[in-house]
Structure 1
Amino acid sequence: MANNRAGRAPARRLNWNDPDVRSVVYQVVALALVGLIGWFLVSNTLHNLSVRNIASGFGFLERESGFAIGESPISFGPENTYGRAVLVGVLNTLRVAVVGIVLATIIGTIIGIARLSKNWLVNKLATVYVEVVRNVPLLLQLFFWYAIITETLPGPRQALNPIPGVFISNRGVKIPTPTDHFAFDLAGIGFLLGIVLAVLVSRWAKKRQDATGQSFPVYRAGIALILGLPILGWLIGGAPLELNVPKLQGFNHVGGATLTPEFAALLAGLVIYTAGFIAEVVRSGIQAVSHGQTEAAAALGLRRNQILRLVVLPQALRIIIPPMTSQYLNLTKNSSLAVAIGYPDIVSIANTTLNQTGQAIEGILIIMAVYLTISISISIFMNWYNKHIALVER
């Protein structure tokens, strides 16, 4: 009995001199103050809205919008609801963000590697690119590209026709599109299946090389799958050759698909601007890899491109991913500047909605929720990928 009492920890008394006690008290007080401030702001806002007879809530999303949207990946007209208009804005934002991230990554990686080139001209050109693009405000770059597209290109009647069926004018780029035929659906399914199979082949080849030391032509096999399966699906569907080719009608071309000047200018500005920052991330990541790794790979007889692709980049990737995530988030949030050149992203459409309905608070909350959701999704995916490629401690 005496031994049990001796081994039992003494009862802890609440004492203000105890740092743990003070820490808990401070946190409770801080949380209470935040809650009080939040309650005051919400109650004061609701009171002001009721005094001005402004209805609150998101019921307005079910009302008819009464306005058109110039660029929409889904069908939309003035008879559709505000909720569908917001959906169009979200899809437009996602479209420019996804395409922008892919292109900025490719261009930024090339520029970053070029900055380390031993060729004096290539090195200096890459350095000038990085220094110029990073030090000119993005908004000015958007205005520049929009002016280039709308002011220097000819009108639709004098549109450039570099390839049969493709027309370039100040109204955008018109390109042919596949007709509504089952063969093109099979080609699309084949393209997606090719990407999945290319990823699976890459994983299989890595496990095979780790086990046997034998390499596999992953890139050639991946390209063959991604290009071959769509062609196979198109052939199985009957190999139709009919396309929806744009034609001049009145003052503009009709038919086909359109790359609008607003989308092109926004995409060009975001990609070129963000690629300058990604280039520096790639350059610093490559330089962080020990030079001994390069020397060891060269001693094994690997060529310079093989050393970069097989030895340097896989190790640099673990250093590059965290800051690269920040650049992806910056590109997505910078897309909100689209309103300056008339691209109908979520900010532009939400502004039109709140101006018509007077639901300013709800409109701002929608914009915040959209960007928060997209940003968190990018962060979760990049954190997963970063953990996936991390070195496993033995």
Structure 2
Amino acid sequence: MGGLAGPGAAAGGVWVVARTQSDALAAAGAEVELVGGWLGTLPQEDPEPARQLRRDDGSSDKGSSAEGKRAVAARLFRMRRPVPGAGLRAPVSFAFPRHMRRSAPAADVAHVHLCRDFVTCISTLLLGRAGTPVVAQTHGMLLPSDRRALRMFDRLITRRVLQIPALWLTLTEDEERGLARLGVDPGRFRRVVNATPEPGQAWSDPEKPVFLFAARLAPRKQPGVFVQAALEALAAGLDARFVVAGPDQGEAAKVQALVEGSGYADRFELVGELGPAEVRQRMAGCTAYVLPALSEPYPMTVLEAAALGAPVILTEQCGLAALMDRQEAAVVVEPSVPAVRDAMLRLAGDRAERERIGGNARLVHRENWSTEALAQDLLDAYRGAAGLQGGQP
């Protein structure tokens, strides 16, 4: 169960992970149903090319993946947001949990991408009531909070939900510490990695430097730091272009004001939200992909850039920083304007360094983030969860 599938930026990286996991498991021979929610009217056409779409009205559109591999059917349920301004925690759907309750008896295991929201929490409670082994994955979203509303939600609902999963798939030590503080038994943690499929294309170094930011325009992603670092690099004499791609989540006006007031507006492209294929195309032709984010546990865009062999600039607050720094597969910097600026200048002036870092990144991806290894790891985790629940592993 992957949570929100769309539209657009509402899905976020969690749906990408759930989709990738489902396809990898299907390719390994497992029977998989991928279930998600959709804010507003359900799409009549598949929002993800080459994927089969099932709507909760029973109709479906069929497709096959571009690589000829099986793409798992995505069953989508319409979700509504009855509380204005409540963000993505408040969408509700009664059909979604009903489907989970009906499907639970036939499932060997349920993998829930869990957050503090109505749909994933209620669905987990129903799965627990049915006795279906549950594997939970929170992607760092379920951490202790001082916010009054979240603490109340935890007392009423989260505390009960935390007792149900037989196994918790975690990405980082910080995530494990947070879950332990909420009362989850550390003995039920299992560290996993995310993955992305081989993209079928490779990075090509552009003749003129082009730096890419492709993420949500949200405060934690720091698109403003990217723009300010770019402006300082331009002022230092760098002849380059800069692309800002991503949906607005509070920072678009700031980014636009910085660009328009800089005197360098002609060096920037503010392209808004792009589809997955467009993002890959931009990554494949950039000098470096830059993610100056704060407290970023496991960014899928970095995996996607690494799969292409594109050079990456990321911050030491990224959960992938230690591995990529150790393998010299990225330029790892402080999450500050001067540090990002200096990294841009360094890569722009050294083609051999770009090729070396990009090549190392592609090797790291193949060794750590392949979908084949992911599928086997997940199947082992599911067998373990079924055994802990008293079923047959």
TM-score (normalised: structure 1):
0.22
Query: Which structure has the larger Rg over C-alpha atoms?
Result: 1
Give the TM-score, by structure 2 length.
0.23
Compare the two structures and name the one with the higher strand fraction.
Answer: 2
The structure showing larger relative contact order (alpha-carbon pairs under 8 Å, at least 6 residues apart) is 1
Which has more helix, going by share of residues? 1
